[in-house]
Structure 1
Amino acid sequence: MRVKTPARREAILAVAADVFKEMGFEGASMAEISARIGGSKATLYGYFKSKEELFVAVTHGEAKKQMEPALAALDQEVDDLAKTLQVFGEKAVSFLCQESTLQTHRMIVAEAGRSDIGRRFHEDGPKMGMERIAAFLKKQMAAGRLRTADPMLATLQLCALLDCETVKPMMLGLETSISRPRMKRMVGRAVETFLAAYAMPSD
């Protein structure tokens, strides 16, 4: 059996990404992906046990590259909490509103009722991102910038505020594009609302 290599795995992910974009999750097949790679299905299954596992790996690979800069904004020392959340929100929403990201999320939602792909996607991707946001908010609570509360609940509420004017309308096709200045204002409103609920009163 051929030895697995990181380079081969990355090549598989690149080809699979193209196939999923062209055919969607349901239309794509492991046979098509292996044919484009130029190997056997047995080799492909040696790296990924199912189409669901491969699809989740593809989506997480792209999300990690795109979301890391947004999450990295939360790793810095904070002087201005509103500004930090604004920078994070703009970077995160910009990625989430990309057509390729929206297309991926639509495929996951469509398939979630028929398999465990929704759970897999959440556990290995968004959940870890939310845990990093929650850790940041917990730190701000300990520093006295935010009132003490459940950090994960606060994270869920922050994400919902960021989504409601941006990602949700784009997902439903109510918006086809959002200009950068307009997105900045939308994120600003989300941050303002979040801080109205959680920020400690200034002296």
Structure 2
Amino acid sequence: MRVKTEEKREAILAAASDVFLEAGFEGASMAEIAARIGGSKGTLYGYFSSKEELFVAVMHEEARKQFEPVFASLNKAVEDLEKTLQTFGEKVLEFLCLPSSIQTRRAVLAESGRSDIGKRFHELGPKVGMQQLAAFLEKQMDLQRLKKSDPMLAAHQLAALLECETVVPLMLGLEETISKPRIKLAVRLALTTFFDAYAIPTGSQKKKKGE
């Protein structure tokens, strides 16, 4: 009986990440991944039941490394909401606009019609991120910095605003790269629209505090 270890799992994820990046989801094979770690396909299936499960695990691990510190910053006390969301948006987009991230999303979309990979990817990644962002926005609503509304809807709308001028053109191949200055500008413009819809006017905030 083989004993599963975290070290072996990490080795599989590292090898799989390289293979998926080189060959894409469709071109990658469990045999090639197994060869990279000096094992057998049986070893891989002992940790992951399918190539889809392994692919999602690889993507989730990469996103976790990038996003954990970013979302952790939302759990801290915030003095300047706009500055906090500007930094958050820039960090998120810098990762989402990487060629590897765009390739991953394209692969997920391409395979979603043939398997449940899209659902798995969403449950482990974007859904969790949206929940964390929604919780942060709800806290800001409770502090009367944002208008009281559906925090999850607000989170989805903010995400859409952030991606419409960055991730979307990259996904469609309209652009090959988005520079950091452009990301910074895109976030600022997205937040302008977001705050137009959700920010509480300064005068109204003072009035409520004095009541």
1:73 Cα deviation after fit: 2.6
- Deviating more after overlay: 157-166 vs 23-32: 23-32
Distance in 2 between the 1:24 and 1:175 partners?
20
- Deviating more after overlay: 167-176 vs 81-90: 167-176
- Which amino acid is the alignment partner of residue 126 of structure 1? P
- Deviating more after overlay: 187-196 vs 32-41: 32-41
Distance in 2 between the 1:60 and 1:6 partners?
16
Matched, 1:64 2:64: yes
Deviations 1:24-54 (A, max 9, x none): 1111111221122211221111100110000
TM-score, normalised on structure 2?
0.93
Q: Counterpart in 2 of 1:105?
A: 105
- Deviating more after overlay: 30-39 vs 106-115: 30-39
Q: Counterpart in 1 of 2:154?
A: 154
Distance in 2 between the 1:143 and 1:202 partners?
13
Pairwise mapping of residues 109-188 of structure 1 onto structure 2 (< 5 A)? Answer: 109-188=109-188
Distance in 2 between the 1:136 and 1:146 partners?
11
Distance in 2 between the 1:173 and 1:72 partners?
32
Q: CA RMSD in A?
A: 1.0
- Which amino acid is the alignment partner of residue 17 of structure 2? A
- Deviating more after overlay: 82-91 vs 38-47: 38-47
Deviations 1:138-194 (A, max 9, x none): 000000001111110000000000000111111111122222222211100001110
Q: Which runs of 5+ in 1 are unaligned?
A: none
- Which amino acid is the alignment partner of residue 113 of structure 1? G
Deviations 1:85-133 (A, max 9, x none): 1010000011100011111111111111110000000001110011000
- Which amino acid is the alignment partner of residue 106 of structure 1? R
Matched, 1:91 2:98: no
Matched, 1:16 2:11: no
Distance in 1 between the 2:182 and 2:36 partners?
41
1:72 Cα deviation after fit: 2.3
Query: SS state of the match for residue 75, structure 2?
Result: coil
Q: Percent identity?
A: 66
Q: Counterpart in 2 of 1:38?
A: 38
Contact 1:102 1:171 survives alignment (8 Å): yes
Q: Which runs of 5+ in 2 are unaligned?
A: 204-211
Contact 1:70 1:89 survives alignment (8 Å): no
Moved over 3 A (4+): none
